[in-house]
Structure 1
Amino acid sequence: MRVMTQGTTLTHVFGAAVTVCRVCRNSCGYCSFRDVESDLMPLEKLAAEFIGFAKAGAIQVSLVSGDSPHVYPSIQFALKRESCVAFSEYLRKGCALAVEAGLLPVVEAGALDPFDVQTVSEMAASVRFSLTAAGLHGKGEAHAEARNRGPEHAKGLIEQAHRSQLPYHLDFLIGIGETEAERHEFLRTVGTFCGADPWLQDVRLVPFQPIPGTAMSGRPPLGFEQVAAAMRVLREAFPVHFRAITPHLFSRFAELTGHGLNDLGPLPFLTGDPVMSGFPVPAYETLKSRLTEHNILLSERLPLTTPAAENRGSMTPTLAAARNRLLNRDQAKIKLIDDKHCFVCGHRNTQGLQITLQKNDPGTCSTVWTSGPAHQGYAGIVHGGILTTLLDEMMGHAIISTGILAVTAEMRIKFLRPAPIGFPLTVVGNRTGGRGRVHLAKGVVMLPDGTVLAEAEGRFVEC
């Protein structure tokens, strides 16, 4: 069904998410995130991830973890390795690294206790809490093997964030076994309790989705009308807030705007959603095009939305940097977002080439790649389009290695000899000059013995 709206705007936050630890003391029936054998991400690796996210244009980063992983001896040893005496100290150090990279850090680590909240508040931009409308601790229910889940814990979490003057976001997990009456009443109760709190930033519905391998994989998800009804109650309970829903319902965004949806929350374009990894986050241009079909404008916003949150002194420089990044992206003619799905070098693209780029010197880029049968044109010969793609990638990244973001405007290719399937090919790109916003580059494809198979020249234009 095609839904037309009257000039609606949906906002979103350009973000990334990183899993710092999958160990969790809870085993919720609907969750596939938990892995008690996983390790704690080293802080050094975390810092490198943050730098990459910032270069790619992210505004915020979510530090995602299971609930109370420190109760496991393996994580206690890992914390000692990172020179941390508590998990909250690790989170605080992680947030500090995000701030240093120019990102606004959001902590998503389950039901934090008062000490944890106070500790992370020193460096976190905000914290995200997941709330449920019913306890469901009975045998065979969603939280049969979980603690601190249920409506009675919601007030305490919110009060902890308020006392620490830590901005917070609320997720409402729905459809896990609560009745519709319980669901709606809980939304209204929480809205009455904290709807006027200046530290509350936004709210989001998280409708249950069955995931293979979980205890509740056979449970059907809520129907659209039930989700729409919950969104209407959310609008009633939080009339002035940003109201979002999770990306896996991307195909129903347009319809839900008529029921109260006005925001898409944090969209981890760069990383995907680690909690629901089986449901890909739509690419920005795809999302924008789909919404435009329904006369809906997609607009980016900052994750901190109230004066109390924006005026926290510790976040002022980072918030200013985030605001500049947002404005630069808004003014750009083309929004170039590297979500690691590039056909050539994207490690998240399972159907791509997944090559490794070597950028040893500014202005150069190279790789060594071995083709397979899937890359042929005529029998035993690499398709010319693949060689063209590789040359384009190397020349483009040769320019990018100088700190300039540019796109291909023109290419000329000379195919000199057939490229045999199964042989390692060296592909090299070099920036050769340029003027103003236009940059020139050359590229070659060679066999191991130095035989040149193809040559290219390209003209690239800064974005």
Structure 2
Amino acid sequence: MTTVSIQRTPPAHAETIPPAEVAQAVDRLQTGQPIDRAGATALLGARGDHLERLLEAAGALRDAGAAARGDHEGRTITYSRKVFIPLTTLCRDRCHYCVFVDTPGGLRAKGAQPYLSPEEVLEIAREGAAMGCKEALFTLGDRPEDRWDVAGEWLQAHGFSSTLEYLGEVAELVLRETGLLPHLNPGVMTWPEMQRLRRLSPSMGMMLETTSRALWSEPGGAHYGSPDKDPALRLRVIDDAGRSRIPFTTGILLGIGETLADRADSLFALADAQATWGHVHEVIIQNFRAKPRTAMQNEPDLATDQYIAAVAVARLVMGEQAHIQAPPNLTDPEELTLLIR
């Protein structure tokens, strides 16, 4: 497989914030001044003693929010029991780091169909329910029928005009037959599509990932060639979910070529959406890990200190009541204690 050379201007892993700027930002935190984009950008570059002070400030804010909810020690980590249902692994996008997607040829080699059948979906859901799951987490690629003929042919043969129409059908089936609550990750939706799905799902999700247009519009960027990764489109979907009063999970992806300022801007975009609509019920701070057989397989993983700083800054930007998630499946064991400081 040909490896794409990723051109970054400039990548966050190569940035250095002057220590005096970081110290000034930390001092402002400890005097109770509100965080702004410039301060958040500086704090994302915190290392050493500055990082320790950042973690203390973020931990204190988290604990204050926990105490307001009755958790006076602030050490409760919550999770939801959910079963994973990958409705289709075909996608029209070409994200350079993705290992979720398949090609039609890859599916044929596995003896798999373009989509799970309703019977297969129900089998997975029932197994999850028997194990105590409460949610059915539907994941899928974005509009594969727009890229792959085999996807459109499968949908047409089964009486559906689109992937999202089929998603609504099987979500309703799972809810009716198993009682599991469908949590949908439909990707970019139009307003009518969102309204059709909202009656079937108590919550939805879609990662913002980044507000960096350069990563989407410039050749070599991690999202180049992926129409659904236009940041403006994704922000519109997040706002539409707020207008529709849909509880929404979103988040950012770190280490794919964005700058520290991009990271800060992405967090503030989510904070603005939450301030406007009040619907963001979980924010995921996801770290890039290089995977074999992807265009970014030779790129460096997000450094631990950058990851820890980003989780702390997310707490400061999103506020004391925000639910911040750091995916444990992408975290090395030695990092876990730092993430819950």
Same fold (TM over 0.5): yes
> 1:59–1:41: structure 2 CA closer, same or farther, 3 Å change rule?
same
Deviation, structure 1 residue 7: 6.5
Q: Which of 208, 216, 239 lines up with 1:131 in the alignment? A: 208
Q: Secondary structure at the match of 2:306?
A: helix
Task: Report if aligned partners of 1:111, 1:148 keep a CA contact under 8 Å in 2.
Answer: yes
Q: Report the counterpart of residue 83 of structure 1 in structure 2.
A: 159
Aligned structure 1 segments of 4 or more residues deviating by more than 4 angstroms? none
Q: Report the counterpart of residue 58 of structure 1 in structure 2.
A: 133
- How do 1:234-273 and structure 2 match up within 5 A? 234-239=314-319, 240-247=321-328, 248-249=330-331, 251=333, 252-258=335-341
Task: Report if aligned partners of 1:96, 1:123 keep a CA contact under 8 Å in 2.
Answer: yes
Output the CA distance in 1 between the equivalents of 2:166 and 2:243: 22
Kindly indicate whether structure 1 or structure 2 has the higher relative contact order, using CA contacts under 8 Å at least 6 residues apart. Answer: 2
Task: Report if aligned partners of 2:246, 2:279 keep a CA contact under 8 Å in 1.
Answer: yes
Deviation, structure 1 residue 66: 0.6
Task: Report if aligned partners of 1:22, 1:34 keep a CA contact under 8 Å in 2.
Answer: yes
Q: Which of 216, 226, 237 lines up with 1:146 in the alignment? A: 226
1:34 matches 2:101: yes
Task: Report if aligned partners of 2:84, 2:136 keep a CA contact under 8 Å in 1.
Answer: yes
Structure 2 length-normalised TM: 0.70
Output the CA distance in 2 between the equivalents of 1:14 and 1:196: 29
Task: Report if aligned partners of 2:189, 2:237 keep a CA contact under 8 Å in 1.
Answer: yes
Amino acid at match of 1:113: T
Output the CA distance in 2 between the equivalents of 1:213 and 1:96: 36
- How do 1:416-435 and structure 2 match up within 5 A? none
- Choose 1 or 2 for highest CA Rg: 1
Output the CA distance in 1 between the equivalents of 2:336 and 2:244: 34
- The alignment covers a number of residue pairs equal to 254
Deviation, structure 1 residue 36: 2.7
Output the CA distance in 2 between the equivalents of 1:64 and 1:15: 12
> 1:150–1:227: structure 2 CA closer, same or farther, 3 Å change rule?
farther
Output the CA distance in 2 between the equivalents of 1:138 and 1:116: 29
Output the CA distance in 1 between the equivalents of 2:190 and 2:95: 19
Task: Report if aligned partners of 1:106, 1:128 keep a CA contact under 8 Å in 2.
Answer: yes
Aligned CA RMSD, in angstroms, stands at 1.9
- How do 1:111-260 and structure 2 match up within 5 A? 111-133=188-210, 134-135=212-213, 136=215, 137-195=217-275, 197-239=277-319, 240-247=321-328, 248-249=330-331, 251=333, 252-258=335-341
Structure with the higher fraction of residues in strand conformation: 1
Output the CA distance in 1 between the equivalents of 2:251 and 2:284: 5
Q: Output one character per residue of 1:164-185: Cα deviation in whole Å (capped at 9) or x when no partner.
A: 3322110211110001121012
> 1:163–1:17: structure 2 CA closer, same or farther, 3 Å change rule?
same
Task: Report if aligned partners of 2:83, 2:125 keep a CA contact under 8 Å in 1.
Answer: no
1:108 matches 2:189: no
Q: Secondary structure at the match of 2:331?
A: helix
Q: Output one character per residue of 1:23-79: Cα deviation in whole Å (capped at 9) or x when no partner.
A: 111111111112131411111221121111111111112111111112132122222
Q: Secondary structure at the match of 2:79?
A: strand
Q: Secondary structure at the match of 1:165?
A: coil
Q: Secondary structure at the match of 1:74?
A: helix
Q: Output one character per residue of 1:349-378: Cα deviation in whole Å (capped at 9) or x when no partner.
A: xxxxxxxxxxxxxxxxxxxxxxxxxxxxxx
Task: Report if aligned partners of 1:27, 1:34 keep a CA contact under 8 Å in 2.
Answer: no
Q: Output one character per residue of 1:225-261: Cα deviation in whole Å (capped at 9) or x when no partner.
A: 1111111221012211110011221522221122xxx
Q: Output one character per residue of 1:376-407: Cα deviation in whole Å (capped at 9) or x when no partner.
A: xxxxxxxxxxxxxxxxxxxxxxxxxxxxxxxx
Task: Report if aligned partners of 2:89, 2:141 keep a CA contact under 8 Å in 1.
Answer: yes
> 1:154–1:77: structure 2 CA closer, same or farther, 3 Å change rule?
closer
Amino acid at match of 2:238: I
Output the CA distance in 1 between the equivalents of 2:265 and 2:239: 20
Amino acid at match of 2:100: F
Deviation, structure 1 residue 84: 2.0
1:25 matches 2:102: no
- How do 1:388-427 and structure 2 match up within 5 A? none
Amino acid at match of 1:254: T
Runs of 5+ unmatched residues, structure 1: 259-463
Q: Report the counterpart of residue 149 of structure 2 in structure 1.
A: 73
Task: Report if aligned partners of 1:105, 1:126 keep a CA contact under 8 Å in 2.
Answer: yes
Q: Output one character per residue of 1:200-233: Cα deviation in whole Å (capped at 9) or x when no partner.
A: 2211111111000000011101111111111122
> 1:145–1:228: structure 2 CA closer, same or farther, 3 Å change rule?
same
Amino acid at match of 2:162: A
Q: Secondary structure at the match of 2:310?
A: helix
Kindly, what percent of the aligned residue pairs are identical? Answer: 25
Q: Report the counterpart of residue 437 of structure 1 in structure 2.
A: none
Q: Which of 16, 27, 31 lines up with 2:83 in the alignment? A: 16
Deviation, structure 1 residue 132: 2.5
Q: Report the counterpart of residue 285 of structure 1 in structure 2.
A: none
Q: Secondary structure at the match of 2:139?
A: strand
Amino acid at match of 2:312: R
